[in-house]
Amino acid sequence: AYRIRDIIKLLAVAPHFNVATHVEVDGEVLDRDTDEIALEVAEKALAEWGKPEGELTYLKRAPETLYNKWQKYGVLPRNVDREVVEIMHRTHIGVDQDYKNLMKQGTRTAIADGWGGSMMATDLQDILFGAPSPLQSEANLGVLKEDQVNIVIHGHEPVLSEMIVVVSQAPEMIEYAQSKGAKGIQLSGICCTANEILQRHGVPLCGTFLQQELAIITGACDAMVVDIQCIFQNVANVAKCFHTKLITTHPIAKMEQENAIHIEFDEYHAIEDAKKIVKLAIDNFQNRSADVMIPAQKAPQVAGFGVESIEYHLGGTFRGSYYTLNDNIINGRIRGVAGVVGCNNARTKHNEGHIEVVKELIKNDVLVITTGCNGIACAMEGLLTPESAGVYCGPGLTEVCETVGIPPVLHMGSCVDNSRILLAATEMVKAGGLGDDISDLPVAGSAPEWMSEKAISIGQYFVASGVYTVFGVTLPIAGAPVFQKYLFETFEEMYGGMWDLEVDPVKHARKMIAHIDKKRAALGIDKARERVMVDMAARREMAV
Ligand code: SF4
C-alpha cells in the first residue's frame, strides 16, 4: 500500500544521513537506484533512535553558530531514546538535584525531539506521502455532511489515515455508501491527524482538540477513528449516547469502555484495515437517529505550506530561495516572522488566545507561521485565505500577501511539523542579510493556549534554537523564582532564546513584537521600517 511518493524529497533528505544518491560504475557517475537510497535512508533514520556512538546526524542542519553553542554547553543529543531515558532517570527521586544540570539534560532531550525525532518524522512522511504544497479546503463543524457518511479521523499519525483517504475515494466504497442511502463519503479530521491529511490531500478540518465531542453530538458522525494523543478519555462515553462508532487503532492507545471498537492497524495490511473501518462507518449510516444537527459554520482556507513551498512562493521560480522574504523583512514591509502554534486549553475560552495573538501580530506586519490547533483555529477564523490580508494586516504585510497571493498566516501542518519552522528559520539565516544565527533573526514563538506535555519540549527546543518563546495560560514555575529567572533570562545569554509567560493575548503579541523590534534594531534595519511605514501612509493618503 505504501510507496515512495516524493523522490525529490528523498534525494534532498539522503545527504543529511550521509547516504549517496549517485554511484560510480566504470568511471561513470550514475543515479543510484531509488529503492536502494530509500532503504539506506530508512535504516540510518531508525538507527538515530538508538545508535551507540556519535551524535544525531541532523544537528548539522542547524546554522553552524547554533551547532557550536550546543557543543559549548554540552547539549548535543547522542540518540533520541538515550536522552529520553536519561532525563527520566535524572528526574527520579533522589537523582539530579541541580536545576541547571537538569535543564542541561532537558535541553538535550528537547533538541533530540525538534532536530531529531520530529524532523525525521516530517521528512519520512513527506517522502512516503508527498511534501505539502498549497491547496484549498474548509474548516469547522460545518464540513460534516448530513446526506453523506461522515468519518472523522482524530489523533496524530497519518500512516493509517492516508489509507483511509485512499479507500474512502474508491468507486466501490462510494457505491457501497450509496447502496445504504448516503450520497457519498465525507472524510474530515480533528487535531493533528487532520492537519496531516489536510496538508497533503485537502481533507477538511472538522475542528480543534476541544471540538472532538462536539463532532459526535451533531449526530452525523458515523465513525470516529482515533490513533494516538489528544483523545479525550470521555469521548467513548459521549459516543455511547449517539450512534457513532468509536474505533481505536493503535496498540499503545486503547480504551476500556465496551463501546470502543479496537481495529488494530497493521501496516502490512493497511488497505484491508482501512476498508474494514470505512465499511463499518458506511454500515452505521442507517443507524442515525432523526436528530442530526450540524452547525452551518465553516470557513474556506488555503493550507499546505512547507519549507519548500514558502521558498517557491516567496522566492519565485528562478530565484528559489528565502532571499525575497529576507528582502521584505529588511525593507520593512514584513516586520518579522512569528511561529504561533499549539493546543487548545479547556481553562480558556475556545480559540480566543490563538486568534487575538495572531490578529495583533498580522496587524503589525508580522507574518505568522502556524501548526497544530492554532492552525485549525486560524482556519476557522478565515485567517488562512489570501483575502484576509486586506482585512486584518498592516499595510506592509498586506502588500506582500497581495503581490504574492499568500495568506498572512501560513499553515505548516501538525505539531510534529514544528520542525519545518526550525528549517524555515535556518533557510532565512542561509539566505543572508539577517545575521548568522536563528537568534539574530527578527522572529518569535508563541503557544497561546498550550496544555500538552510535548508543548514544553517544543518550547524548549525553540528556546535552545535561539527563539524568544511566549506561552499563554500558565507555566508551572511561578513558585520557583530562581528557576524562572534561569528560563526567562539566563537562557538568552546562553542560546539567544528564552521563555516568557503572558496570559493577556494582546500583551502577549506585543511582547513578541517588542522582541522582533529589538532584533531589527540590532541588525540595523529598524530605520528601514520607519521609512516604509511613512511611505505607505503617504501612498494611502494619495489614493484618498
Ligand atoms: S496542538 Fe496540542 S491539542 Fe492540538 S492536536 Fe497538537 S498536541 Fe493536541
- Measured in angstroms, how far is the CA atom of residue 467 from the centroid of ligand 1? 21
- Measured in angstroms, how far is the CA atom of residue 173 from the centroid of ligand 1? 31
Grid cell, residue 48, equals 538515530
| Residue minimizing CA distance to atom 2 of ligand 1 | 343
Q: What is the pLDDT of residue 537?
A: 52
344 class by beta-carbon count within 10 Å (0-12 exposed, 13-18 middle, 19+ buried): buried
**Whole-angstrom distance, CA of residue 377 vs CA of residue 181:** 33
Farthest-apart Cα atoms in the chain, separation: 73
Name residues whose C-beta falls within 8 Å of residue 393's C-beta, 6 or more positions apart in sequence: 362, 363, 365, 401, 408
Are 128 and 5 in contact, with CB atoms under 8 Å apart? yes
Ligand 1 atom with the smallest distance to the CA of 454 is 7
Q: Is 373 in the pocket of ligand 1 (CB under 6 A)?
A: yes
Grid-cell match 480566543, residue found: 352
**Whole-angstrom distance, CA of residue 261 vs CA of residue 280:** 10
Helix/strand/coil for 286: helix
Provide CATH code, domain 141-287.
3.40.50.2030
| Residue minimizing CA distance to atom 8 of ligand 1 | 230
| Residue minimizing CA distance to atom 3 of ligand 1 | 343
User: How many residues make up the chain in this entry?
Assistant: 544
Ligand 1 atom with the smallest distance to the CA of 414 is 6
Antiparallel, parallel or unpaired: β 469-471 and 185-190: unpaired
How far is CA 107 from each of CA 160, 227, 253, 458, 460, rounded to the nearest angstrom? Answer: 32, 28, 28, 10, 6
Q: Is 415 in the pocket of ligand 1 (CB under 6 A)?
A: yes
Q: Is 372 in the pocket of ligand 1 (CB under 6 A)?
A: yes
Q: What is the ipTM of this complex?
A: 0.98
pLDDT in tens, the chain (544 residues): 899 999 999 999 999 999 999 999 999 999 999 999 999 999 999 999 999 999 999 999 999 999 999 999 999 999 999 999 999 999 999 999 999 999 999 999 999 999 999 999 999 999 999 999 999 999 999 999 999 999 999 999 999 999 999 999 999 999 999 999 999 999 999 999 999 999 999 999 999 999 999 999 999 999 999 999 999 999 999 999 999 999 999 999 999 999 999 999 999 999 999 999 999 999 999 999 878 999 999 999 999 999 988 888 877 555 558 889 999 999 999 999 999 999 999 999 999 999 999 999 999 999 999 999 999 999 999 999 999 999 999 999 999 999 999 999 999 999 999 999 999 999 999 999 999 999 999 999 999 999 999 999 999 999 999 999 999 999 999 899 999 999 999 999 999 999 999 999 999 999 999 999 999 999 999 987 664 443 445 445 544 3
Q: Is 191 in the pocket of ligand 1 (CB under 6 A)?
A: yes
**Whole-angstrom distance, CA of residue 414 vs CA of residue 191:** 8
Grid cell, residue 320, equals 528559489
Q: Is 209 in the pocket of ligand 1 (CB under 6 A)?
A: yes
* φ, ψ (nearest 5 deg) of residue 478: -60, -30
Same fold for the domain at 7-129 and the one at 141-287? no
Q: Is 194 in the pocket of ligand 1 (CB under 6 A)?
A: no
**Whole-angstrom distance, CA of residue 439 vs CA of residue 519:** 8
**Whole-angstrom distance, CA of residue 220 vs CA of residue 293:** 7
Which of 227, 229, 371 best tests ligand 1's pocket when mutated (most atoms within 8 Å of CB)?
229
- Measured in angstroms, how far is the CA atom of residue 192 from the centroid of ligand 1? 6
How far is CA 398 from each of CA 168, 392, 513, rounded to the nearest angstrom? Answer: 39, 8, 17
Grid cell, residue 286, equals 442507517
Are 313 and 410 in contact, with CB atoms under 8 Å apart? no
Where do the structural domains in the chain lie, given as residue ranges?
A: 7-129, 141-287, 299-543
Q: What is the pLDDT of residue 533?
A: 45
Q: What is the pLDDT of residue 516?
A: 98
**Whole-angstrom distance, CA of residue 145 vs CA of residue 206:** 11
The torsion angle over the Cα atoms of residues 115, 119, 124 and 129, rounded to 10 degrees, is -170
Give the CATH fold of the 299-543 domain. Answer: Rossmann fold (3.40.50)
**E strands of 272-314, at which residues?**
299-303
What H or E segment, with its residue span, contains residue 366?
strand 366-370
As separate numbers, helices (DSSP H) first and strands (DSSP E) second, the chain gives: 24, 16
Provide CATH code, domain 7-129.
1.20.1270.30
